[in-house]
Structure 1
Amino acid sequence: MPRPGNKEELIEASRGNFEKLNTLIDSYSSEELEKEFPEGTLNRNIRDMLAHLHHWHLMLMEWYETGMKGVKPEMPAKGYSWKTLPELNKKIQEKYRHEPIHKVREMLGDSFYRTQEIITSHTNEELFEKKRYIWTGSTSLGAYLISNTSSHYNWAFNLIRKSMK
């Protein structure tokens, strides 16, 4: 599916890729859900992947809430830069590593729903006009939403599928 270019496509891609990801996860047995991924991947299992997606939803919502108040949010997170993403992602993995997968799935479902509320609350222009909001810089709100929803779910789907072979 090509990168969404409008609100309707963003809704379709984010919901569709989220559903595709959940369908894949539902296809695994309880034992498979606990299976460790091959060495070399930061996220060591499906739980880690889902926690990663959930936490990035939370960060997106924080950027959004701060940015819509006219304040420049700390992105990607306080104390981290885009160049230090590996360290941030390691911190995220460590934060959730003791959570049971069913709880992580519940948290992800909740944060997914909240990201969808952001998408549906905006017009196409509010989502896809570049430089509309100071906090999004030279890009659009939609670009941030795509990166943290449809594209992120597709990345997770592909990594899980590859790691479960």
Structure 2
Amino acid sequence: MGVPQNKQELLEAIQTTHAKLWADLCTIPDARAHEVSMEGHAKDTLMSPADLVAYLVGWSLLVLKWCDRKAQGVPVDFPETGYQWNELGLLAQKFYADHAHQDYRTLLQQFAQVHVRILALVEACSEAQLYGAPWYGKYTLGRMIQFNTSSPNANARTRIRKWKKLHQLA
């Protein structure tokens, strides 16, 4: 699947990558979901499948926050208040910590809910809003949404499938 160039392609990319990842995430036994044995998002760190879901929830919530703040005319701290783009590993650790107390099924519910909210956001935008002009730096809103939803979902699926195979859960 190439980089989405319009609203319909963006919706398809988000839906397709989410559906494929969702199918894999739902087969992870609850007892193994918090097992810290997968390569983390920061160099030389490990995470659990639950941490990976927390990471995806965190980024989707950030996209929604960015859009909400921009719509209100409020400045946005990209990527997040207190973090720079060169500190994404630290931001990933924050996402893990934000959701560390949650059981795996609750995390999956949150992932499903934020997915619906992202789709609603995209549906509510016009083609021009998504792809007609730069939204952040040189990037359009559609590209920023893709960078932080369908793209990490595809990456996460690769990680999960590798982890499941390694742990004989495939």
Q: TM-score, normalised by structure 1?
A: 0.89
**Residue 129 in 1 paired to residue 95 in 2?**
no
Residue 111 and residue 158 in structure 1: after superposition, are their counterparts in 2 closer, same or farther (change >3 A)?
A: same
Structure with the higher strand share, 1 or 2: 2
Q: Using the alignment, how far apart are the partners of 2:122 and 2:46 within structure 1?
A: 27
Query: What is the match of residue 4 of structure 2?
Result: 4
Check whether the contact 2:52–2:156 (CA below 8 A) recurs between aligned residues: yes
Query: What is the match of residue 113 of structure 2?
Result: 110
Q: Using the alignment, how far apart are the partners of 2:98 and 2:124 within structure 1?
A: 31
Query: What is the match of residue 80 of structure 1?
Result: 83
Query: What is the match of residue 22 of structure 2?
Result: 22
Q: Using the alignment, how far apart are the partners of 1:33 and 1:91 within structure 2?
A: 18
Deviations 1:51-110 (A, max 9, x none): 111111111111111112233301111111101111111121122122100111111111
Q: Using the alignment, how far apart are the partners of 1:126 and 1:91 within structure 2?
A: 30
For these two proteins, the number of residue pairs brought into alignment is 161
Q: Using the alignment, how far apart are the partners of 1:110 and 1:32 within structure 2?
A: 23
Structure 1 residue 37: Cα displacement: 2.1
AA aligned to 2:117 is: R
**Residue 119 in 1 paired to residue 111 in 2?**
no
Check whether the contact 1:80–1:88 (CA below 8 A) recurs between aligned residues: yes
Check whether the contact 1:25–1:33 (CA below 8 A) recurs between aligned residues: no
Deviations 1:30-55 (A, max 9, x none): 444344324x4245211111111111
Check whether the contact 1:4–1:13 (CA below 8 A) recurs between aligned residues: yes
Calculate percent identity across the aligned residue pairs: 24
Q: Which runs of 5+ in 2 are unaligned?
A: none
Deviations 1:87-146 (A, max 9, x none): 111121122122100111111111111111110011222111232x4xx23210001110
Q: Using the alignment, how far apart are the partners of 1:111 and 1:99 within structure 2?
A: 16
AA aligned to 2:33 is: L
Q: Using the alignment, how far apart are the partners of 2:37 and 2:46 within structure 1?
A: 8
Q: Using the alignment, how far apart are the partners of 2:46 and 2:66 within structure 1?
A: 24
